[in-house]
C-alpha cells in the first residue's frame, strides 16, 4: 500500500493507512484517505475499476479474485426526462447493474482489498439491506468468514437474500443505533474488518462513480450531480472523486453536489437549512425510501462540511414525489428503488429554487434496483387486464 495517510475530516490529524480505523479517536469524526493526484486517468484499458483507476488507489495488488465485476455502469442520457423537466440534459447513472444490484459493491470491493492487504480473514457489516447483501457476496467471492449483523425484526424475505451467500447472519436484539459503534469496537478486538456504511475505503470505492462520469461525458462534467444520501459515504466518495480529478487538472470545474433525502428522514437537510455544523437525530423517521432511512448518519457532519466547502446543496423530497419519480424512471425503462428515485424527484425542487437552470446538465445517481424493494409495488396500484382467448383479437386490435 502506498504511503498515503488517513486524515481526520474534522481536526486534520493523520493516521497510518495500514490500520483498520475509520473514526478519529479525538473528535470521533470520520477519517478520509489522503487525496490522490495523477494526470494519467487510465492506468490500464480495462473494465476492472481498480486496475483502470490504479493511480487513485493505494493498493499493491489488484487481484481479479476479489472482483465481481463492480462498476463501469452505464450513464444514460434521457431526452424525454430532459424535455419533461425543462433542462438541457438529464443523465442517469445506472448503479442497479452492479453484481448485487446497488452501488454498494464498489465500496465493498474497495474495503475488501484494504482488509486483505492488512491480513484480515474475517469481514462483516451492520446493515439490513443492500450493504449486507454486497458484503455477503464479496465475502463469498474472496472466501472470507463473513458476519452480517442485522436488526432483530428483519423479515425473512430480506434476510434470505443475505443468507444465500453463506454469510453468518446474526439478528441482534437491543438498541440498533448502538450497533455501528459496537461492531467497530468488537471488530478491533477480534480482528474482524467491519466495512460499515462510511468507512474510509468504502468512500474510496464510491470515487469511481465520479471517475466514470468524467470519462463518459468526455470530461465535460455535468453542472449538477444529485446523490440520494443516507449515511453519507457515497456522496463523500463521489465528491472526492471529482475533487481528485479536478485537482489533477483532468476536469475544468467541480459539479455542484446535491444531497437528496426523503422528507420523512432528512437529518442532513434539517441541519443544512439551519446552517448548523452538526446534525441532530431525526425524530421518528418514516419513508418509502427505505435504503436512505438513517436518522443519525455517521458521516452527516462531514457531508455538511463538504457541502459548505463546495457550495453544495441539500434538499428533501416529499413521499408522493418519490413514488412519482420511481414511476417516471420505470416509464423510461429503469426500475429503481424509491431511495434512488429521490435524485430525480429533487430536480423540480432545485429548478423552483433557481439552483438548477434550463441550460444545465444534471446527473442523477440511480443507486439501487427496484427489485430490492418490492414492497413499493403496493403504493403504485398497478393493474392488468383479463380476457378470454376467444376475445383476444378484440382486445389487442385497439
Ligand atoms: C446505501 C444506499 C444509499 C445511501 O448511501 P449512503 O452512502 O448511505 O449515503 C442510497 N441508495 C441506495 C439504494 C442504497 O443502498
Ligand atoms: Zn479528529
pLDDT in tens, 326-384: 999 999 999 999 999 999 999 999 999 999 999 999 999 999 999 988 889 999 999 99
Mean pLDDT of all residues in 17-46: 95
pLDDT band with cut points at 50, 70 and 90 for residue 61: confident
- What's the length of the chain? 398
* Ligand 2 geometric centre to CA of 189 (Å): 22
Mean pLDDT of all residues in the chain? 96
Strands 313-317 and 75-77: unpaired
* pLDDT tens readout for residues 234-246: 999 999 999 999 9
| Secondary structure (3-state) at 6 | strand
Atom of ligand 1 nearest to the CA of 299: 9
Question: Which residues are CB-neighbours of 83 under 8 A, at least 6 positions away?
Answer: none
Given a contact cutoff of 8 angstroms between Cβ atoms, the answer to whether 115 and 193 are in contact is yes
Residue list, ligand 1 pocket, CB within 6 Å: 102, 104, 129-130, 197, 228-235, 291-292, 337, 339-340, 367-368
Which residue's C-alpha comes closest to atom 2 of ligand 1?
Answer: 291
| Alpha helix segments (H runs only) across the chain | 49-52, 79-85, 104-117, 130-142, 156-163, 179-190, 200-216, 233-247, 267-273, 300-310, 319-330, 338-352, 377-380, 392-397
- Of the listed ligands, the closest to the CA of 133 is 1
pLDDT at 1: 56
Our CA dihedral for 384, 390, 395, 396, rounded to 10 degrees, sits at 100
* Ligand 2 geometric centre to CA of 7 (Å): 8
Amino acid at each position: 500500500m502506498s504511503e498515503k495517510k488517513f486524515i481526520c475530516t474534522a481536526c486534520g490529524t493523520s493516521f497510518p493507512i495500514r490500520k483498520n480505523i475509520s473514526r478519529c479517536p479525538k473528535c470521533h469524526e470520520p477519517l478520509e484517505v489522503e487525496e490522490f493526484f495523477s494526470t494519467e486517468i487510465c492506468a490500464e484499458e480495462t473494465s476492472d475499476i481498480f486496475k483502470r483507476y490504479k493511480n487513485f488507489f493505494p493498493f499493491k495488488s489488484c487481484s481479479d479474485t476479489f472482483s465481481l465485476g463492480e462498476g463501469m455502469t452505464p450513464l444514460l442520457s434521457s431526452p424525454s426526462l430532459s424535455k419533461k423537466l425543462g433542462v438541457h440534459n438529464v443523465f442517469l447513472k445506472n448503479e442497479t447493474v452492479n453484481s448485487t444490484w446497488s452501488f454498494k459493491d464498489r465500496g465493498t470491493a474497495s474495503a475488501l482489498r484494504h482488509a486483505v492487504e492488512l491480513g484480515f480473514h474475517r469481514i462483516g457489516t451492520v446493515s439490513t439491506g443492500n450493504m449486507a447483501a454486497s458484503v455477503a457476496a464479496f465475502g463469498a467471492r474472496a472466501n472470507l468468514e463473513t458476519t452480517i449483523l442485522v436488526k432483530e425484526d428483519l423479515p425473512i424475505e430480506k434476510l434470505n437474500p443475505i443468507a444465500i451467500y453463506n454469510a453468518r447472519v446474526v439478528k441482534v436484539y437491543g438498541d440498533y443505533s448502538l450497533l455501528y459503534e459496537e461492531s467497530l469496537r468488537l471488530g478491533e478486538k477480534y480482528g474482524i474488518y467491519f466495512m460499515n456504511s462510511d468507512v474510509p475505503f468504502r468512500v474510496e470505492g464510491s470515487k469511481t462513480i465520479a471517475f466514470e462520469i468524467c470519462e463518459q461525458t468526455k470530461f465535460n462534467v455535468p453542472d449538477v450531480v444529485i446523490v440520494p444520501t443516507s449515511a453519507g459515504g457515497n456522496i463523500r466518495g463521489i465528491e472526492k472523486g471529482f475533487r481528485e480529478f479536478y485537482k489533477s487538472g483532468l476536469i475544468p470545474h467541480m459539479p455542484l453536489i446535491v444531497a437528496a433525502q426523503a422528507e420523512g428522514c432528512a437529518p442532513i437537510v434539517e441541519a443544512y437549512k439551519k446552517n448548523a455544523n452538526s446534525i441532530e437525530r431525526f425524530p421518528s423517521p418514516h419513508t418509502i425510501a427505505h435504503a436512505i432511512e438513517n436518522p443519525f448518519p455517521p458521516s452527516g457532519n462531514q457531508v455538511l462540511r463538504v457541502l459548505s466547502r463546495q457550495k453544495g446543496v441539500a434538499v428533501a423530497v416529499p413521499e408522493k414525489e418519490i413514488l412519482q419519480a420511481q414511476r417516471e424512471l420505470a416509464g423510461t425503462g429503469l426500475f429503481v428503488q424509491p431511495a434512488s428515485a429521490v435524485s430525480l424527484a429533487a430536480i423540480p425542487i432545485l429548478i423552483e429554487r433557481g439552483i438548477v437552470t434550463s441550460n444545465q446538465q444534471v446527473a442523477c445517481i440511480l443507486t439501487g434496483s427496484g427489485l430490492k424493494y418490492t414492497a413499493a409495488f403496493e403504493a403504485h396500484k398497478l393493474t392488468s387486464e383479463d380476457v378470454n382467448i376467444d376475445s383476444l383479437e378484440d382486445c389487442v386490435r385497439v
